[in-house]
Copies of this chain bind each other. A is one copy, B any other.
Amino acid sequence: MTSKLTGEERETHLTPLLASGWSLLQERDAIQKKFIFTNFVEAFQWMTGVAIWAEKLNHHPEWSNVYKTVDVVLTTHDADGLSELDAKLAAKMDALAE
């Protein structure tokens, strides 16, 4: 699960994410997305849901919060790039933000 995505896997996992607002970073093999909520409480409520999932998957985001905005970067340090775990956490983040 933590091995780096290659060729076809990459296509399968990344295509739906790129269609839902995620983008690839230039400088390293990682994806990013900006989530914007109504206010701080909504943003932090979402972060709390994500935190529980991150711990459950044992896979944690790099994220910054300023009031109602949360900037997320996902990558897998152990795999030196994107793995299935990033795709899984990204999809969960999208689902929790709906």
A residues lining the B interface (CB < 8 Å) = 40-41, 44, 47-48, 51, 54-55, 60-67
Contacts and interface: CB of A to CB of B under 8 A. Distances in A.
Contact of A40 (B44, B54, B66, B67): B54
A72 to B, nearest CB: 10
Nearest to A45: B51
A63 B64 contact: yes
B64 A40 contact: no
Contacts of A51: 40, 44
A64 B67 contact: no
A47 B64 CA distance: 12
Contacts of A40: 51, 54-55, 60
